[in-house]
Chains A and B, each alone.
Chain A
Amino acid sequence: MNALKIVTYASFALCIGALLYILFFSQSAQLNNRNARRARDLELFAAQIEETFHANGRVLPVSIAVLPRQLGTAADNCQLVTKHCEVTVAACISPEQIAATPSGFLSADIVSGTQERTHYSVQALSPTVIKLTACSDEIENEISITKDLITP
């Protein structure tokens, strides 16, 4: 009986402790993990765009232009203003437009919401150079990659 009592108290303490730790005491590590995921997402998007670029005879998808645009599936309301991004174009760039072979991969959240939600923007710096940026108010140091699609 004593063992059962100890197990019950310990289980409850562990349950509350784990919840509090996850919600309040590991936020810094979680933010780092989220940022690492964002960086990985950007790499994946860049690889998709590069593949499409070469499949199109070294021409960027027409939707990628000088003005940054948000990656997403929404038809409009894709304007975005965060610490590191300013998107003024209303239409999103859908995954079909940037992927030569649609993989279904799109990590952009399609609804606006809480602070940590991530959106991604893409812009053409030149006909062969693109810049992808992760957009979220919680990102302190800009997470972006600039990729020359001809010169590795």
Chain B
Amino acid sequence: MKLPIVAHIQQRPTLFKSLLVVLILLLALSVRLWKVEYVPNATDGDELAYIFAGQTLIEYGVPISWSSHEQYEYDWVNLSMHSEVVNEEMSFGFIRPWLDHSFLLPVLIGGWSELGGYEFGTIPPALWYRLPMVFFSIVTLSLAFLIAREVFGFWPAVGTLTLLSFSPSFIIIQRMVVSENMIIMFSLLAIYFYLKKQSLTLVILASVLACLIKPTGLAVLLLIGLDMVFTKQWKTLMIYLVVSVATFASIFALYVWSINPTDTVSALLSQSQRLIGWSNPTFLFSHPGFQNRLMLDFSYYLILLAGVFILGRQTRKHERLIALGTLIMLVTVWATSAEQDMLGWYKIPLFTFLGISAAKVMKDKNYVLLIVLLLITLVANLGLVRYPTHPLPESIILRSTVGILVLFMAWLIYNAQAKRIALTTLAICFIAYALQSFYISHYYFSATCRDRICPTPSVTSVQAAKELVSKQFIHSFQK
């Protein structure tokens, strides 16, 4: 006998599928908003660099911010900032003009700060300035889902969406104001238009936006361009590359010309002198997490291992495009980041592609691989919220858990043909993975900051909600 809800679902599969995707996206939004102001550390310097540049570009007509590159000739002033939004005094040595990055993200995030009333000299609360990034993260996740659905089908795409939506390190990094979060959003947009054979103008516009965020966005031109080469679309290739590069170069040149062309060339040369090295991939993959410190999150390896699976076998043209994209994003991060410099967010585009590629595992019905990786993630990630003061797990508990896990995995391997069991286990694992991400989001800050002083926000979502409720209450009382 079927449950009424099952009958309902079978009658309206499209509606059910849409509701499922909306539910996952809403959960993804919730987990990103939960304690958004705490992790990554409130008022992270790398985020503030964009905010200051945007505020000053809007207010003074010239970008001023701090830089990790030594550019003494552009020293401007060492300023103490109004940093009441965090439990520490903050001052920065500024350079003027600041040309470490393009204008688009600074204008966007600086404009958002100004909109909230935070002018240059005042640091906006993380709760405020991270809101646009959370919104963009949902757009990115939606595009990753749409591309995966187009290439691999609906259910594998749901797998991609779940993997990316509830990976703790992905949740944290997608809150952060860094260029790569925007580059990947516009890159996926361009790729989706390309896959759906939409007008070339749309592909070009989305590609140019990705490039305008940061020149590493040019990777999307390489990806789509190479696909056009391999599929022998010579005329389209020429138009796409020439128009995209010319549009990007013209807009960037306009900005540079109005600020200072000589200074820009000098800053770009300085930026290009990063300590790149042969061993970058080894370094990058040996350092899980997307911030500038380690985060021992196994979902990082879950996405990596499930994602590289696509390189082994592609059966359709579009699958080859996703495999190519994964390689190009790897090459981009290999060629632009440093062997010993942990700027983890450089890996965001690569891991987003790996997440999309992971749908191939589901499409090829390699459920056991996913289940094994998910189970390891579920157990290993308990360590993410283990307080330094917590005792280590007793050996009998740890070894019993691991032993049972191994036995279960072994049973699955020998019973992989039991598709129903495998699918049910996979669904349960995905649900547990999603729920665990909320648990981790809630406790991660207190767990990591128990034995050290972390930047702690003084403007919090709970406090903002309380103020809103009390204002509403007073308002209704006055009425």
Q: A interface vs B, CB < 8 Å?
A: 1, 4-5, 8-9, 11-12, 15-16, 18-19, 22-24, 26-27, 30-31, 33-34, 37, 104-107, 109-111, 113-114, 116
Contact call A19/B103, Cβ cutoff below 8 A: yes
CB neighbours of A16 from chain B (8 A): 251
Question: CA–CA, A8 to B73, complex, Å?
Answer: 39
Question: CA–CA, A111 to B266, complex, Å?
Answer: 15
CB neighbours of A30 from chain B (8 A): 59-61
CB neighbours of B198 from chain A (8 A): 1, 5
CB-based nearest A residue for B62: A116
Chain B stretch 458-476: residues in CB contact (< 8 A) with chain A = none
Q: Mark B362-406, 1 if CB is under 8 A from A, else 0.
A: 000000000000000000000000000000000000000000000
**How many residue pairs at the A-B interface have CB separations less than 8 Å?**
74
Question: CA–CA, A31 to B104, complex, Å?
Answer: 22
Min CB distance A26 to B, Å, is 7
CB neighbours of A34 from chain B (8 A): 60-61
B254 at the interface (CB under 8 A from A): yes
23 residue pairs of the A-B complex, CB under 8 angstroms, read: A1-B198, A4-B192, A4-B193, A9-B202, A11-B186, A12-B208, A15-B209, A15-B251, A19-B251, A19-B255, A22-B103, A23-B61, A23-B258, A24-B258, A26-B58, A31-B61, A34-B60, A104-B78, A107-B77, A110-B75, A111-B73, A111-B74, A114-B260
A18: which of B77, B111, B254 is its contact (CB, 8 Å)? B111
CB neighbours of B206 from chain A (8 A): 8
Q: Would you list the 5 A-B pairs with minimal beta carbon distance, nearest first?
A: A30-B61, A104-B78, A107-B77, A23-B258, A12-B205
B34 at the interface (CB under 8 A from A): no
Contact call A22/B79, Cβ cutoff below 8 A: no
Q: Mark B189-205, 1 if CB is under 8 A from A, else 0.
A: 10011001010001001
B57 at the interface (CB under 8 A from A): yes
CB neighbours of B32 from chain A (8 A): none
In the complex, besides A30-B61, A111-B73, A116-B61, 5 extra interface pairs with C-beta distance below 8 angstroms are A15-B104, A22-B58, A23-B255, A105-B79, A116-B62
Contact call A4/B107, Cβ cutoff below 8 A: no
B209: which of A11, A105, A106 is its contact (CB, 8 Å)? A11
B439 at the interface (CB under 8 A from A): no
CB neighbours of B73 from chain A (8 A): 111
Min CB distance A31 to B, Å, is 8
Contact call B107/A105, Cβ cutoff below 8 A: no
B234 at the interface (CB under 8 A from A): no
Question: CA–CA, A37 to B61, complex, Å?
Answer: 13
Q: When A19-B251, A23-B254, A109-B76 are in contact, do A8 and B202 touch as well, CB less than 8 Å?
A: yes
CB neighbours of B104 from chain A (8 A): 15
B60: which of A12, A37, A105, A111 is its contact (CB, 8 Å)? A37
Contact call A19/B254, Cβ cutoff below 8 A: yes
B96 at the interface (CB under 8 A from A): yes
CB neighbours of A109 from chain B (8 A): 76, 96
Question: CA–CA, A5 to B204, complex, Å?
Answer: 12
Number of chain B residues whose Cβ lies closer than 8 Å to a Cβ of chain A: 37
CB neighbours of B205 from chain A (8 A): 8-9, 11-12
Contact call B209/A12, Cβ cutoff below 8 A: yes
Chain B stretch 169-193: residues in CB contact (< 8 A) with chain A = 186, 189, 192-193
Question: CA–CA, A37 to B96, complex, Å?
Answer: 14
A33: which of B60, B75, B77, B103 is its contact (CB, 8 Å)? B60
Question: CA–CA, A33 to B192, complex, Å?
Answer: 43
CB-based nearest B residue for A41: B77
Q: Mark B58-76, 1 if CB is under 8 A from A, else 0.
A: 1111100000000001111
Contact call B62/A15, Cβ cutoff below 8 A: no
CB-based nearest A residue for B143: A4
Question: CA–CA, A61 to B202, complex, Å?
Answer: 64
CB neighbours of A11 from chain B (8 A): 186, 205, 209
Min CB distance B62 to A, Å, is 7
CB neighbours of B111 from chain A (8 A): 18
Question: CA–CA, A107 to B205, complex, Å?
Answer: 40
B426 at the interface (CB under 8 A from A): no
CB-based nearest B residue for A12: B205
B144 at the interface (CB under 8 A from A): no
Min CB distance B250 to A, Å, is 10
CB neighbours of B61 from chain A (8 A): 22-23, 26-27, 30-31, 34, 116
CB-based nearest B residue for A73: B75
Contact call A105/B78, Cβ cutoff below 8 A: yes
Question: CA–CA, A89 to B74, complex, Å?
Answer: 23
A105: which of B77, B193, B208, B258 is its contact (CB, 8 Å)? B77
Min CB distance A94 to B, Å, is 13
CB neighbours of B58 from chain A (8 A): 22, 26
Min CB distance A61 to B, Å, is 20
CB neighbours of A24 from chain B (8 A): 258
Min CB distance A143 to B, Å, is 15
Contact call B202/A22, Cβ cutoff below 8 A: no
Question: CA–CA, A131 to B48, complex, Å?
Answer: 36
Contact call B57/A22, Cβ cutoff below 8 A: yes
B212 at the interface (CB under 8 A from A): yes
Question: CA–CA, A110 to B79, complex, Å?
Answer: 16
Question: CA–CA, A37 to B76, complex, Å?
Answer: 13
Q: When A16-B251, A26-B61 are in contact, do A4 and B260 touch as well, CB less than 8 Å?
A: no
CB neighbours of A105 from chain B (8 A): 77-79
Question: CA–CA, A16 to B433, complex, Å?
Answer: 41
Question: CA–CA, A55 to B74, complex, Å?
Answer: 32
CB neighbours of B77 from chain A (8 A): 105-107
CB-based nearest A residue for B213: A15
CB neighbours of A15 from chain B (8 A): 104, 209, 212, 251
Chain B stretch 139-157: residues in CB contact (< 8 A) with chain A = none
